[in-house]
Amino acid sequence: MIQHLGLVPYLPTYQAMQEFTATRTADTPDALWVCEHPPVFTQGLAGHADHLLAPGDIPVVPTNRGGQVTFHGPGQVVAYPLVDLNRAGYFVKEYVYRIEEAVIRTLAHFGVTGHRVSGAPGIYVRLSDPRSHAMLAQRPKKDASQDPNFEGLGKIAALGIKVSRHCTYHGVALNVAMDLSPYLRINPCGYQGLQTVDLSTIGVSVSWQEAADVLSHKLVTYLAP
């Protein structure tokens, strides 16, 4: 069940997700909330205060999701899958993989090649040629244990989740056409100098609604049991 919430403040949405998850039963249908937020920095459980370089007038909201600090703002599609993993029949690692796959397929719909990077959740694009299908040297491999390498890459989608009683909340944010300057006030996802991009800066002109519709469809498809 997809619910389009529009432009909504972050904190009440976060609280509503917690409430939905705390009160759902084995019979509660899964949901997908799709929205955008006014400018806000959100700090994950692994977050360090020193990654907030200069938040200034943008509020900072501590959350219980995984990961570090990120930014939400208008022009970004935020999707919150509220999924019962017991009923879906897969575990957290596969859940994350499926979300990333939905983003990769969404980008492909707009002619962009999204990539995974070893050790760094989220989806990245090659800055020199966002449409190139060439595999990244930094792609996940079985023996990879080194620190993430973002050379030549920009982050276009951030991922942060929480699982409570086998049910998911929080989710994924895809940058479409937004003011990217607030990312300069933080170390995005805890990585100093990590460049953040959106579809518009890599030459893809698409409306927020079209991007939201495609991402929603891909998430419903790839998160299906």
Domains and their CATH numbers in the chain = 2-222 (3.30.930.10)
Say yes or no to pLDDT of 193 above 90.
no
Span 207-215, mean pLDDT? Answer: 98
Mean pLDDT computed over every residue of the chain: 95
* 189 is annotated as an active-site residue: yes
Share of the chain above pLDDT 70, in %: 98
- In sequence order, the β-bridge partners of residue 160 are 171
Span 110-132, mean pLDDT? Answer: 95
Predicted TM-score of the model (pTM): 0.96
pLDDT, position 58: 97
39-53, 70-84, 95-109, range with the lowest pLDDT: 39-53
Share of the chain above pLDDT 90, in %: 84
Catalytic residue among 85, 189, 202, 219: 189
pLDDT, position 144: 60
